[in-house]
A and B are shown apart, each in its own frame.
Chain A
Amino acid sequence: MKTLYDKVWKSHIVHEEAGQPALMYVDLHLIHEVTSPQAFEGLRVAGRKVRQAGRTFATVDHAIPTLNRNLPFKDPIAAQQVEKLRENCKEFGVKLYDLDRIEQGIIHVFGPEQGLTQPGMTIVCGDSHTSTHGAFGALAFGIGTSEVEHVLATQTLQQSPAKNFLIRVDGKLPYGVTAKDIILGIINEIGTGGATGHVIEYAGSAIESLSIEGRMTVCNMSIEAGAKAGLIAPDEKTFEYLKGRPFAPKGEDWNRAVAYWGTLPTDAGAAYDKTVAIDAGDLEPYVTWGTSPEMSVKISESVPDISDARDASQRETNERAFAYMGLEPSQKIDEIGIDVAFIGSCTNSRIEDLREAARVANGYHVNSGVKAMIVPGSMQIKKQAEDEGLAKIFIDAGFEWRDAGCSMCLAMNDDVLADGERCASTSNRNFEGRQGRGGRTHLVSPMMAAAAAITGHFVDVRDWKFRD
């Protein structure tokens, strides 16, 4: 009796020897401009090649502008980094989906969209949110640059097995409570170190009921709970999503693949090292108040009272977060006003996220004190949203409609919060300075961000008067 994780892990062991980490085969290696230059340089210095260029795919996302991509970059260092990726891909024979391609997008949006991400695979990328791909039942995790070089050279990684952590979310999600709220609720419950050393498997009726996009949102933030990876068993929805995508198996291969994928879900009675159960009915829209993703509250609640801290160290951490965020203990969430709304990132920039945000925005206008932007996860999503009429809703409502990229998720390009600016953001990290020095990030779902953009402060989207 094995778990989904055990099955994927075991089937990828190339070599095992007592007292050493195993060698794990890597089926898919994704790369981007920020964490790869030093790895390619390492290969060059050692006179090594990319072992399986056909399993290596690159795109540009982190440092690129999302406005006027055809103009020369304002930042010469970012331009150099992108140029370096082009040179490296050319020299080592790696396929690059550059700025001129409709497939270009955030690496974790791009992989699934192209059908590269498939159940049962091992997938790595020099980026911690590689956990996103676990939504397909793939074992996917982020690695450092030394490991990127190791994978380029050997198509394997030295790995030790992780522990199994089952998180069940059962019951029906109330309308307005989304995949983002599930994962924020989970992190609130188990903490940012709660899954360290573990691979989380998300299961239960509320997880099954999510679309593939929603499942990606949940798996995306596994790393914010400290997990090695997060996965969800593949099912009919997964197959349906993959069918016909450019790199998905075709014809007879498709049938064989589906038969194999069907063997992956956890066997009945398999044991987990740890289990947590959550009732979907208890969840509400969540808003983070502090500088760690675990510092969140339900929309109906107030930010915490400092005297509730578990110990001195937590009290100090909380005090620092309050000071940084410019909040008062016990302040009500819906009294917090915002300056910026950012809808995007590998957590929430897929078509479904844009549909939800557009439903809220439809017929309204962004508050005069708020700058709001929508950054689709890929150029393909951008086009689809334009074809579906979502772009028009956003533009009419006063949102900026951008090109694909990471943008204000980490603010490595020109999209940066000014000191003291407060942002409702659909991204995944509210760390100090993440969206700009002194910038204050509140993580929320796309619906919540759109509603805050319109009213100028946080509101409970469950009470929203839709105008469609």
Chain B
Amino acid sequence: MNKFVVHSGSCVPLMRENIDTDQIIPKQFLKRIERSGYGEFLFYDWRFAADGTPTADFVLNDPRYAGASILIAGANFACGSSREHAPWSLMDHGFRVIIAPSFADIFYNNSLKNGLLPITLDAADVAYLGEAVSADPNFTLTVDLENCTVTDGAAFTRSFKIDKFRRHCLLNGLDDIGMTLQHEATITDYETRLASTGRFVLA
């Protein structure tokens, strides 16, 4: 997994609520069998008109936000389908951090497993950031995972919460499966006990 320690970058505001994973990566792009190459399809139906030309009024097409790596979004971000293509496409497009008042559970987990950092801040703080970025597209934030802080280097500094273990994994880029397999003997013991109860035999 990609490590995440400190990241500084410019932001883009997408202040809609309940942005679902069908918007983040529409289903016509789920048929690929790779993990990479989804960036060009990110928010496809919002970014491009039916004839494939870029839509002028969608914020990700606004040249002032080109190169942004932090997405500021509305509440309940990435609800809906479990598709991990959502974090894959966001990362492939260049995002490393998403800041929103709340996230859907599956997306939150999927992101952490890919080195994309979802940060939950108060709705008022997120609204403030949205306005700050709209007013100044060069507005830059620094996210420090070691200390769990987000700052603009001036007036705005907030700390955020993240599960300690998840933070540890991200800071060190640890592989979940490798860690779980350290407990392989315990899993085998559990399976032996399960077999002795006769429960859930599927044959």
Contact = CB atoms under 8 A, between A and B. Distances in A.
Identify which of A35, A158, A260 gathers the most chain B CB atoms within 10 Å of its CB: A158
B198 interface: yes
Contacts of A84: 33
Interface stretch (B5-13, B55-63, B101-109, B144-152): B101-109
B177 interface: yes
Contacts of B165: 19-21
Interface in B1-53: 15-18, 20, 22-23, 26-28, 30-35, 45, 50
Interface string B120-156: 0000000100000000000000000000000000000
A249 B202 CA distance: 8
B194 interface: yes
Interface in B158-196: 163-165, 176-177, 180-181, 183-184, 186-187, 190-191, 194
B200 A317 contact: no
Contact of A147 (B16, B32, B109): B109
Given A75-B31, A154-B187, A247 B74 contact: no
Contact of B113 (A19, A146, A313): A146
A450 to B, nearest CB: 26
Nearest to B203: A54
Contacts of A193: 18, 75-76, 79, 102, 104
A257 interface: yes
Contacts of A132: none
A14 B45 contact: no
A52 B190 CA distance: 13
Given A23-B180, A48-B177, A411-B27, A144 B20 contact: no
Contacts of A78: 31
A314 interface: yes
A77 B31 contact: yes
Contacts, number: 185
Contact of A14 (B20, B76, B183): B183
B33 A37 contact: yes
Interface stretch (A209-217, A334-342, A382-390, A433-441): A433-441
Main DSSP-derived SS at the B contact region: loop
A432 B33 contact: no
A412 B22 CA distance: 11
Nearest to A154: B180
Interface stretch (B64-72, B81-89, B91-99): B81-89
A270 B50 CA distance: 54
Contacts of A3: none
Contacts of A21: 163, 165
Interface residues of A, number: 80
Contacts of B176: 146, 150, 158
A412 B176 CA distance: 31
Nearest to A51: B187
A120 interface: yes
A316 B13 CA distance: 15
B82 A142 contact: yes
A28 interface: yes
B33 A429 contact: no
Contacts of B87: 144
Contact of B80 (A38, A128, A247, A314): A128
Interface size on B, as a range, is: 35 or more
A118 interface: yes
A144 B82 contact: yes
A143 B187 contact: no
A35 B33 contact: no
Interface string A244-281: 00010100010011001000000000000000000000
Contact of A433 (B16, B45, B104, B109): B45
Contacts of A67: none
A127 B82 contact: yes
Nearest to B79: A192
A397 B145 CA distance: 61
Contacts of B79: 192-193, 226
A304 interface: no
A456 to B, nearest CB: 26
A381 B114 CA distance: 39
Contacts of B34: 38, 41
A317 B18 contact: yes
Nearest to B199: A260
A256 B183 contact: no
28 contacts: A15-B187, A23-B180, A25-B190, A25-B191, A27-B200, A38-B35, A46-B177, A51-B187, A78-B31, A81-B31, A143-B109, A144-B83, A144-B87, A144-B109, A144-B113, A147-B110, A155-B187, A192-B76, A193-B79, A196-B76, A223-B80, A249-B198, A249-B201, A316-B16, A320-B16, A410-B81, A429-B80, A432-B22
Given A145-B84, A196-B76, A419-B50, 10 more contacts: A23-B183, A38-B35, A41-B34, A57-B202, A154-B187, A193-B75, A412-B30, A429-B81, A432-B23, A433-B26
The 10 A-B residue pairs with the shortest CB-CB distance, nearest first, are A144-B110, A37-B33, A144-B84, A142-B82, A145-B84, A193-B76, A77-B31, A146-B113, A128-B82, A14-B190
Interface of B: 15-18, 20, 22-23, 26-28, 30-35, 45, 50, 74-76, 79-84, 87, 102, 104-106, 109-110, 113-114, 127, 163-165, 176-177, 180-181, 183-184, 186-187, 190-191, 194, 198-203
